[in-house]
Structure 1
């Protein structure tokens, strides 16, 4: 039987417990945002998932974005005041959006 110092036991238990749970699931979504048939370049974009802090990013010159987070499930992509639902899974998913003005309100529509 192996005897460990009392000070090492909590650390060993933490390592064994985290290994038993397995690695955290990572999810990636990517795509582009356009507005008026042009790339929505250099626009702030956020990923909002329940119980998590908002993840900010900025579209590039082509309107492209990418988020990789340690959660899966239903989330929301927000550009300005416009939002659209997305589903994150362990398989990367592409979501392309169009910013449109509807009745004076900005909306995010999946293309």
Structure 2
């Protein structure tokens, strides 16, 4: 079974042969990066990061808790990811989606 349809494969191959990306940039051309700190008032730390047309907002809210008995000198970092419906048509409100859970796990693993 073909994972990439033939028309998409031809388009990607043409772009590679022309030394371009799908958005028209050259392979060695980067997108502009913009970082705006302190965008969430209720968080201890936050930022909005823009990479081309992609935006991510992150907030940090620490809490003090009890360490685990087997690691009394170590802390715990728990992460949560929310993919808002306005970000893409496939994101829906409600419990965390599999994509949200996987992103949080990747961050947890470091």
Smaller-chain TM-score bracket: under 0.3
Query: Relative to total residues, which structure has the larger strand share, 1 or 2?
Result: 1
Where is the helix percentage greater, Structure 1 or Structure 2?
2
Name which structure has the greater RCO, CA cutoff 8 Å, separation 6+: 1
TM-score (norm 2): 0.23
